[in-house]
């Protein structure tokens, strides 16, 4: 028994998961090449209509879904369909408020998501409803609890993706609409978008400074169990040479010498900041220090080569 003690006391290795997008072919290509490194994946799957229904996204061709499920099943990776309120004009809040404030529409929305999850063979749902008004806070919690109960009954997994904050209720509408303690009880995974500290409309700067990420995740541990928590990491960048800044992927970076930002570990070239392998490694070390479950990457296919290998498990 003594010989087993080191194994019993050793912390679990960090889990790596990530989002997939259908509009960049590199996303599915990167996933299929690196599938063995992931434990969960969240492909774009469900959108919210103007009347508050949940439906499949139209742009889900076979060349996206077939290799996704083939690689996932081969490597025993859980597939969570991402349900998002993102539309052509950005994250839609008005249609969400109408749905959340109407108990019948909330129940219908839950039924829609459950039906798609079952019909499409998904292992679960990742809920990514962003930029809601603060006044939706109570109704959003009710919705998450209702959806969580329905998914649990159907033996499906449930994760929620939330805005970062360092305390309750938060410093702008998006995080204020998300009651971490209430929704944390209803989900299996709680993923925090620890990025966009500097964003498209801000001045140039680190996307995810280490000290800020640590404050966010340290607070999270006070309201949500650490074994549910995933730190969202940035595998993309911004180019602030234009206003607003352009969101960029690895292929947009010029092939020139770069600096490492001391606050974040991100690669910096002129007015560009990018979350590369160095940043991912630092975030993984921080995650291990905090004793949380894992890392979730936005997004698979935008990353610099070597990012997944740099993560310390």
Tell me what pLDDT residue 61 has.
80
State the CB neighbour count (10 A cutoff) for residue 19.
Answer: 25
Locus of tokens 């959806």: 147
Tell me what pLDDT residue 89 has.
82
Task: Name the token pair of 25.
Answer: 């072919």
Backbone angles phi, psi at 125, to 5 degrees: -130, 140
> Which of the four pLDDT bands, split at 50, 70 and 90, describes residue 5?
low
* pLDDT, tens digit, 9 for 90 and up, residues 143-170: 999 999 999 999 999 999 999 999 999 9
Strand partners, 228: none
* pLDDT, tens digit, 9 for 90 and up, residues 169-228: 999 999 999 999 999 999 999 999 999 999 999 999 999 999 999 999 999 999 999 999
Tell me what pLDDT residue 147 has.
98
Beta strands 124-128; 229-234: pairing state: unpaired
Contact status, residue 160 vs residue 127, Cβ threshold 8 Å: yes
> Which superfamily is assigned to 14-236+275-310 in CATH?
Glycosidases (3.20.20.80)
* pLDDT, tens digit, 9 for 90 and up, residues 229-258: 999 999 999 999 999 999 999 999 999 999
Mean pLDDT of the chain: 95
pLDDT at residue 6 greater than cutoff 70: no
Percent of the chain at pLDDT exceeding 70 = 96
* 92-96 average pLDDT score: 96
* pLDDT, tens digit, 9 for 90 and up, residues 108-149: 999 999 999 999 999 999 999 999 999 999 999 999 999 999
* pLDDT, tens digit, 9 for 90 and up, residues 29-54: 999 999 999 999 999 999 999 999 99
Task: Name the token pair of 202.
Answer: 């801000």
Tell me what pLDDT residue 10 has.
59
Contact status, residue 94 vs residue 48, Cβ threshold 8 Å: no
Tell me what pLDDT residue 1 has.
52
pLDDT at residue 68 greater than cutoff 90: yes
Beta strands 157-162; 189-192: pairing state: parallel
pLDDT at residue 77 greater than cutoff 90: yes
Tell me what pLDDT residue 63 has.
83
Give residues with Cβ within 8 angstroms of 153, minimum separation 6. none
| Burial classification of residue 101, based on how many CB atoms lie within 10 Å of its CB (0-12 exposed, 13-18 middle, 19 or more buried) | middle
* pLDDT, tens digit, 9 for 90 and up, residues 254-305: 999 999 999 999 999 999 999 999 999 999 999 999 999 999 999 999 999 9
């Amino acid at each position: 028994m003594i010989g087993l003690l080191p194994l019993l006391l050793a912390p679990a290795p960090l889990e790596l998961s990530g989002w997939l997008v259908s509009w960049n072919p590199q996303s599915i290509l990167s996933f299929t090449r690196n599938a063995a490194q992931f434990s969960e994946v969240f492909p774009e799957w469900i959108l919210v209509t103007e009347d508050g229904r949940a439906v499949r996204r139209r742009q889900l061709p076979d060349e996206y879904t077939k290799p996704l499920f083939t690689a996932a099943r081969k490597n025993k990776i859980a597939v969570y369909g991402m349900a998002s309120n993102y539309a052509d004009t950005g994250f839609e809040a008005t249609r969400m408020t109408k749905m959340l404030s109407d108990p019948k529409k909330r129940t219908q929305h839950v039924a829609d998501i459950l039906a798609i999850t079952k019909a499409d063979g998904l292992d679960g749902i990742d809920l990514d409803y962003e930029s809601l008004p603060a006044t939706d806070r109570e109704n959003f919690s009710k919705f998450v609890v209702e959806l969580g109960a329905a998914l649990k009954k159907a033996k499906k997994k449930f994760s929620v993706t939330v805005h970062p904050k360092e305390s309750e209720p938060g410093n702008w509408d998006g995080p204020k609409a998300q009651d971490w303690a209430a929704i944390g009880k209803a989900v299996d995974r709680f993923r925090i978008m620890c990025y966009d500290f500097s964003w498209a409309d801000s001045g140039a700067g680190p996307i995810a400074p280490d000290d800020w990420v640590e404050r966010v995740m340290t607070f999270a541990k006070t309201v949500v169990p650490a074994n549910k928590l995933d730190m969202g990491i940035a595998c993309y960048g911004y180019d602030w040479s234009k206003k607003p800044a352009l969101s960029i992927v690895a292929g947009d970076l010029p092939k020139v010498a770069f600096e490492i930002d001391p606050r974040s570990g991100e690669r910096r070239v002129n007015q560009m900041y990018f979350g590369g392998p160095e940043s991912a490694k630092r975030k993984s070390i921080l995650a291990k220090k905090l004793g949380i479950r894992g890392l979730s990457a936005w997004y698979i296919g935008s990353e610099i080569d070597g990012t997944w290998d740099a993560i310390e498990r």
